[in-house]
């Protein structure tokens, strides 16, 4: 009897979870419907028009914005690389903002969907796909991937969609609201089979995605980040003009990355404070991000 009662409670709990997920989906759909009347007729903004006509095949890259993260840097590098190889490239953003915006190549057309949130870009993205009909749509990050797949499905176009994953699902869930954290794992197994290709940037990510999204591992391809460009070697030849690196100065510990919780720079700063007590050393952190003020305050606190 105890075992039967336990199963009954589990079934009730599962049913409650499913009801909550369905309610969340209905709320999201209501949000889209309410926003559609405001967004659907708003013009998409195109900048960086190319000087020559586009080629027949167009490649589009879709993301939330050009914030200072690694995934955004990869999208920017890919857009420039595709354009250098003669492809017509659109960089389609839910909102055209972020520190990388000024680095968009003049050979890449920037399309601003002017949506306050990625989810709310769905109606305009559908309209973009129907108008432009790109040969391929490359998207990055789980929430943008879901919106891109949904837009392709509703638009009825033959565009091939490549969904890329740059972070473990566990990281996304930790940084998301409880509602979003409960919805995304439910949607991934439903939406990701619609992709023409799923790409992760490491073997570990591929294993994690296959397990969490209940996807066959062989359907996930691993392609490492395209971080080395031709101008990297040119930049490497630039003289290092900072007195910290002059002969006779203390050694320098260098940290580089987006100033965000995922990178855990507070631990680096606290560890550096301990090391500095026993030997002369300096710490330099290169990057930008939403945690900059917090990290600066921690540095002042530690002294």
pLDDT of 27-40, one tens digit each?
555 544 554 454 44
What residues pair up with 111 in beta bridges, in sequence order? Answer: 46, 92
3-state SS class at 7: helix
Most confident of the ranges 129-138, 182-191, 240-249: 129-138
Q: Which residues contact 175 (CB under 8 A, 6 or more apart)?
A: 261, 262
Same-domain status, 154 and 257: no
Q: Say yes or no: 209 and 65 in one domain.
A: yes
Output DSSP code: residue 102: G
Convert the pLDDT of each residue in 122-180 to its tens digit. Answer: 999 999 999 999 999 999 988 899 999 999 999 999 999 999 998 887 766 666 666 66
| pLDDT score of 38 | 47
Expressed as residue numbers, the domain containing 150 is 18-222
Same domain, 216 and 251: no
Least confidently predicted of 62-66, 175-179, 285-289: 175-179
Both 186 and 41 in one domain: the answer is yes
User: In this structure, are 76 and 129 located in the same domain?
Assistant: yes
Residue at which a domain ends, from 190, 222, 254: 222
Based on the domain organization, do 144 and 178 belong to the same domain? yes
pLDDT at 261: 85
For residues 83-93, average pLDDT? 94
- Confirm whether 5 is domain-assigned: no
- Together in a domain, 147 and 266: no
Residue 260 has pLDDT above 50, yes or no: yes
Question: What pLDDT is stored for residue 174 in this prediction?
Answer: 66
Shared domain check, 170 and 31: yes
**Are 105 and 249 in a shared domain?**
no
Three-state secondary structure call for residue 162: strand
Of 16-20, 107-111, 217-221, the range with the lowest mean pLDDT is 16-20
Taking Cα atoms as reference points, which of 106, 102, 74, 101 lies closest to residue 89? 106
Indicate the DSSP class of residue 17. Answer: H
Same domain, yes or no, for 251 and 134?
no
């Amino acid at each position: 009897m105890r075992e039967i009662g336990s199963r009954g409670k589990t079934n009730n709990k599962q049913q409650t979870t499913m009801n909550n997920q369905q309610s969340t989906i209905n709320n999201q759909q209501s949000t889209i419907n309410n926003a559609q009347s405001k967004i659907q007729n708003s013009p998409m903004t195109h900048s960086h028009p190319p000087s020559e006509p586009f080629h027949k095949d167009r490649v589009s890259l879709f993301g939330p914005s050009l914030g200072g993260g690694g995934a955004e840097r990869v999208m920017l590098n890919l857009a420039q690389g595709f354009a250098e190889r003669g492809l017509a490239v659109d960089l389609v953003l839910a909102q055209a903002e972020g520190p990388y915006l000024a680095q968009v190549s003049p050979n890449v057309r920037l399309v601003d969907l002017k949506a306050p949130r990625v989810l709310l870009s769905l109606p305009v993205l559908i309209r973009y796909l129907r108008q432009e009909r790109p040969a391929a749509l490359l998207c990055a990050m789980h929430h943008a991937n879901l919106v891109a797949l949904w837009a392709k499905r509703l638009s009825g176009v033959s565009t091939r969609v490549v969904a890329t994953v740059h972070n473990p699902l566990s990281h996304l869930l930790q940084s998301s609201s409880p509602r979003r954290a409960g919805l995304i794992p439910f949607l991934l197994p439903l939406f990701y089979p619609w992709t023409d290709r799923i790409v992760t940037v490491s073997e570990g990510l591929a294993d994690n995605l296959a397990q969490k999204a209940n996807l066959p591992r062989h359907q996930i391809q691993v392609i490492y980040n395209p971080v080395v460009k031709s101008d990297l070697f040119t930049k490497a030849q630039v003289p290092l003009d900072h007195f910290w690196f002059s002969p006779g100065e203390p050694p320098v510990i260098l940290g580089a990355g987006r100033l965000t919780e995922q990178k855990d720079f507070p631990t680096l700063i606290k560890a550096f404070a301990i090391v500095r007590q026993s030997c002369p050393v300096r710490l330099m952190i290169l990057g930008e991000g939403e945690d900059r003020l917090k990290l600066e305050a921690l540095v002042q606190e530690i002294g």
